[in-house]
Structures are given as structure tokens and as C-alpha cells.
């Protein structure tokens, strides 16, 4: 079945710096990719999602890159601020209805 | 707008006692529904999914069961809780080729 690895597990950046999180997956049939943010004690907030035919998507200071050849998905938070501190998860959708999550990255943005 | 509501918000239960967690989605007909489990500090493990009333597929065996008695309702239950059932339970919904959207979760402590 689909395997998803996410790195780094912990990331600390200064306010205004960028933060990059990377996921690699194994199933080339994966059709849908997403990034979520989870704050302490809360559910998951969907940040952005892309279909497999999209290489790059930018929204509100976030950039998602998809490299299908290398089976790699990345999330770039440009100009991070303290409110971005949370745990971030990637998720890949494998047919028919299985969504596999990465192991999470705990991001700390220092003022 | 669609809303997803989970209940209860938190539970403290004894080992061996029964459990029932609920999830309701409003504003969307015939959604795909999911139950996920998250250990403290861990990633999300998909437990069940359902694409229609009365139909539930199990993804992992954790001595839990799920039912979908109505189009907008998903129930997670067990007759006998184990210590290993402690964690955060998240319900989610989506449509085909969309990213799941999550409820706020139920925190379960089994003592």
C-alpha cells in the first residue's frame, strides 16, 4: 500500500524566514495531494490541495510543489510568522478511498 | 455551507466499558465519510470509510466498529474499550477528488 514519509519532524525558523516541509510517497497512481495544519488540541485545517496534473500552486504565502517523477510533494511557507506555529501534515489520496497521512512536522516560528 | 460536528468533545472511560462517538455532516448530500485515530503526538491512521448509507469499509482492525445509519451520520463504537484506544478521534468528509475536511475531534482517555 501507499507509504508516505515526511521530513523534517521538527523545524524551527525565525519570523520572516521561509519553512519547507517535504513528503515522499510510493504509489504513482496517487491522484490527490493535500497539506493540513493542526494546532494544539484541534482538528485538521485544510491548507491547500492539488491534483496530480498540477506542478505548482501558490495561495496566501503558501507554495505547494509536486514532482511526480520523484514522487515528492513540498510545502513552502514564505515569510513565516508566529501564528504559523503548529503541526503540519501532508496527505495523499490513493484509490479508491484511502487517504494516507505523513508523520507530521512540528513547526516553531520564533519572533 | 457545510458543517461537521463531532460529539462528545472529550470522554474519560474505564477499560472494558463501551464507547460510542458520533459525527454529523450538514449541508452536503451523499458525502464520503471517514474515521481517523491519532495517538498523542502522532500521525493520523484511517480506521473506516463509508461512501453510502449502510455501507462501511474497515481499513485497520482495532477492535472498533463503525456504522452509517443515515446519510449525514457516522458512528464509531466498541463494546469493550482497551487502554490502546486512548487518543484523538477525527471524523472527516469529502467527495471524489477532493481533500477530506475534518471535524474538531473527540479526545478519548481510557483509564
Q: Report whether pLDDT(B91) > 90.
A: yes
Return the percent helix, strand and coil in chain A, to nearest 5.
5, 60, 40
The reported pLDDT for the residue numbered A97 is 77
Mean pLDDT of B86-91: 96
Evaluate whether A99 touches A2 at the Cβ level (below 8 Å).
Answer: no
Sheet holding A72-77, edge to edge: A4-7, A19-25, A72-77, A62-67, A56-59
Evaluate whether B38 touches B88 at the Cβ level (below 8 Å).
Answer: yes
More confident position, A1 or B86: B86
Evaluate whether B92 touches B105 at the Cβ level (below 8 Å).
Answer: no
The reported pLDDT for the residue numbered A98 is 83
Q: How far apart are the C-alpha atoms of B78 and B69, rounded to whole Å?
A: 16
Structure-block grid coordinates of residue B109: 482517555
Q: How far apart are the C-alpha atoms of B50 and B58, rounded to whole Å?
A: 9
Q: Report whether pLDDT(A96) > 80.
A: no
Quick: pLDDT tens for A5-60.
999 999 999 999 999 999 999 987 777 899 999 998 888 999 999 988 889 999 99
The reported pLDDT for the residue numbered A28 is 77
Q: Report whether pLDDT(B45) > 90.
A: yes
Whether residue A34 and residue B102 make contact (CB cut-off 8 A), yes or no, is no
Compute the Cα dihedral for B103, A94, B67, B80 and give only its sign.
negative
| Optimal mutation site among B44, B91, B92, B102, interface A, most CBs of chain A within 10 A | B44
Whether residue B104 and residue A51 make contact (CB cut-off 8 A), yes or no, is no
B36: nearest CA partner in chain A: A99
Structure-block grid coordinates of residue A2: 501507499
pLDDT class of B61 with cuts at 50, 70, 90: confident
Evaluate whether A1 touches A67 at the Cβ level (below 8 Å).
Answer: no
The reported pLDDT for the residue numbered A29 is 79
Whether residue B102 and residue A43 make contact (CB cut-off 8 A), yes or no, is yes
Q: How far apart are the C-alpha atoms of A40 and A3, rounded to whole Å?
A: 25
Compute the Cα dihedral for B39, A43, A56, A83 and give only its sign.
negative
The reported pLDDT for the residue numbered A51 is 87
Q: Report whether pLDDT(B3) > 80.
A: yes
> Is the bond leading into A96 cis (omega within 30 degrees of zero)?
yes
The reported pLDDT for the residue numbered B75 is 98
Quick: pLDDT tens for B97-111.
788 999 999 999 999
The reported pLDDT for the residue numbered A1 is 79
Amino acid at each position: 500500500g501507499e507509504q508516505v514519509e515526511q521530513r523534517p519532524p521538527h523545524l524551527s525558523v525565525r519570523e520572516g524566514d521561509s519553512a519547507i516541509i517535504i513528503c515522499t510517497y510510493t504509489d504513482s497512481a496517487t491522484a490527490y495531494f493535500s497539506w493540513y495544519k493542526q494546532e494544539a488540541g484541534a482538528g485538521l485545517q485544510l491548507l491547500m490541495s492539488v491534483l496530480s496534473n498540477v506542478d505548482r500552486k501558490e495561495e496566501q504565502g503558501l507554495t505547494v510543489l509536486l514532482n511526480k517523477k520523484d514522487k515528492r510533494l513540498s510545502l513552502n511557507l514564505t515569510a513565516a510568522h508566529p501564528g504559523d506555529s503548529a503541526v503540519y501534515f501532508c496527505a495523499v489520496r490513493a484509490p479508491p478511498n484511502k487517504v494516507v497521512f505523513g508523520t507530521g512536522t512540528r513547526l516553531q516560528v520564533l519572533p | 455551507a457545510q458543517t461537521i460536528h463531532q460529539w462528545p468533545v472529550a470522554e474519560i472511560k474505564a477499560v472494558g466499558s463501551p464507547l460510542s462517538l458520533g459525527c454529523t455532516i450538514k449541508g452536503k448530500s451523499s458525502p464520503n465519510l471517514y474515521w481517523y485515530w491519532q495517538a498523542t503526538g502522532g500521525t493520523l491512521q484511517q480506521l473506516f470509510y463509508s461512501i453510502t448509507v449502510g455501507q462501511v469499509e474497515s481499513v485497520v482492525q482495532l477492535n472498533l466498529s463503525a456504522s452509517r445509519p443515515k446519510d449525514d451520520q457516522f458512528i464509531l463504537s466498541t463494546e469493550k474499550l482497551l487502554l490502546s484506544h486512548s487518543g484523538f478521534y477525527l471524523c472527516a468528509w469529502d467527495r471524489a477528488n477532493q481533500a477530506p475536511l475534518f471535524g474538531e475531534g473527540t479526545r478519548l482517555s481510557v483509564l
